[in-house]
Structure 1
Amino acid sequence: MKKLIVAAAALALTAGMGLAQTVRMGTEGAYPPYNFVNDSGEIDGFERELGDELCKRAGLDCTWVKNDWDSIIPNLVSSNYDTILAAMSINDERKAVIAFTQNYLPPAPSSYVALSEDADLEGGVIAAQTATVQSAYIAETGAALIEFANIDEVLAAVRNGEADAAFGDKEVVRPYVDEGEDLIFVGEDVGLDEGIGIGVRQSDTELRETLDAAIGEMKADGSLNEMIKKWFGEDAQIHE
């Protein structure tokens, strides 16, 4: 994460954008159900539907850009796109480099998954996705951290014995537990962030305020909670 922030900070001198041009929405496309590439090769998922609705409400002309997670902040700051909608948790380290809207998903737990209940979570090898709040958390524990580019590789490391357990966003790993026959939740859930928001360049105050207002409108009319339930289930955490 430190390398990611240093790289982004080095690119931080960039001009603000005007809202008259197309707003390029950056996402990873590899983190279902938040965002993924569907069978037609299109960006899909909760954040695609949310982003399209926010652009509609804000009167913005928007297009989507796919970018690997490990360079997603530097490429925002260097103007390869204008927002990040990619299940990005809001925390102080990221706020030092980019700005965030209010959260569109409330703070949610992170969870451990393993092949057995006796997995060593304190001193064993724990897999996590690189440059995430989960990997930063594991790095501060007594466990040995191994990082991977995406969640599929993280969970594969558990299945092939490379890691004792994986640690990730609970809503992301839940389908792998529910739909598979091997992975189970172990240990206690952990809260790590202020929720998930849209990342923008610090200079793009107008864009941030425009998107922030649209999120607030969706919270107020209940449509955001309905969208959350559609993608994450009736038991998902919603805005109070």
Structure 2
Amino acid sequence: MKKILLAVAALALTAGMGMAETVRIGTEGAYPPYNFVNDKGQLDGFEIELGNELCKRAALECTWVKNDWDSIIPNLVSSNYDAIMAGMNISDERKKAIAFSEEYTPPPLSAYAALTPDADIKGAVAAQTSTIQAGYVAETGASLVEFPTGEETIAAVRNGEAEAVFADRDFLAPYVQESNGQLVWVKGQEKVVVGEGIAIGLRKSDTELKAKFDKAIESMKADGSLNKLITKWYGPEALVF
């Protein structure tokens, strides 16, 4: 009997050692090329590919949870998932509520886009709710018009609800390029640095998980694979480490 019990205990220990920790990652799924839902109905994008590689390097079993942007931090704090990868720029305001991993992009460029290059960016400016860009617009004294999604901010410019839209340049670029001249960059406002860099959002109590992600991000920076992934999704002119 003792031998059987010892064998069962040893098997359980071996199985436990081989099992990876399961981590749920929240993402918006509506902010290409950072994250989006592809034609197959699957989450895709820079952060999905990056997150899967980080989990592999950190020996974590990861699953993805799609969540609306405006509740993405509250649902992390409420433990509906364990991390956020959703184009989230590090800011002092967000640091009050959550912790951040090491950044996995340099401080991204933001930009104003409009129907004309001389649009009034002190007038009505559209931005996505609870983004660092929305805070920036409010501080400029412009009339901030907030929307739940990035696509709605662009629609607001097209239908005349806003003079311009302010968002991540990488998010706006495909819309500008594919608009056949309808949308253009506002002159002198197409490369605005806002924030400290994009990183994984975590609960402040999850120091061990933060350490694992930090180590994985550092390893990708060291071997050049993170820069390759950035240029794959954002092009050869993208800011890299």
Q: TM-score, normalised by structure 1?
A: 0.90
| Deviation of 1:142 (Å) | 2.1
Q: Is the 8 A contact 2:21 2:59 kept in 1?
A: no
The 5 Å alignment of 1:88-167 reads: 88-122=88-122, 124-167=123-166
The 5 Å alignment of 1:199-238 reads: 199-238=201-240
Q: Which residue of 2 aligns with 1:59?
A: 59
2:120 and 2:131 map into 1 onto residues whose CA distance is 21
Q: Secondary structure at the match of 2:222?
A: helix
Q: Which residue of 2 aligns with 1:172?
A: 171
Q: Is the 8 A contact 2:20 2:59 kept in 1?
A: no
1:155 and 1:40 map into 2 onto residues whose CA distance is 25
Letter of the 1:26 counterpart: G
2:174 and 2:39 map into 1 onto residues whose CA distance is 18
Q: Which residue of 2 aligns with 1:13?
A: none
| Deviation of 1:22 (Å) | 1.2
| Deviation of 1:108 (Å) | 1.6
1:142 and 1:94 map into 2 onto residues whose CA distance is 21
Task: Establish whether residue 42 from structure 1 lines up as the match of residue 64 from structure 2.
Answer: no
Q: Which residue of 2 aligns with 1:183?
A: 183
Q: Secondary structure at the match of 2:103?
A: strand
| Deviation of 1:143 (Å) | 1.1
Q: Secondary structure at the match of 1:119?
A: coil
Which runs of 5 or more residues in structure 2 are unaligned?
Answer: 1-18
Which runs of 5 or more residues in structure 1 are unaligned?
Answer: 1-18
Number of residues of Structure 1 aligned to a counterpart in Structure 2: 220
| Deviation of 1:39 (Å) | 1.4
Moved more, 128-137 or 186-195: 186-195
1:117 and 1:38 map into 2 onto residues whose CA distance is 32
- Alignment root-mean-square deviation, CA: 1.1
Moved more, 50-59 or 178-187: 178-187
Q: Is the 8 A contact 2:26 2:83 kept in 1?
A: yes
Letter of the 2:197 counterpart: G
Letter of the 1:166 counterpart: V
Q: Secondary structure at the match of 1:167?
A: strand
Q: TM-score, normalised by structure 2?
A: 0.89
1:169 and 1:230 map into 2 onto residues whose CA distance is 17
2:86 and 2:34 map into 1 onto residues whose CA distance is 7
Percent identity, please.
63
| Deviation of 1:21 (Å) | 3.8
2:97 and 2:141 map into 1 onto residues whose CA distance is 28
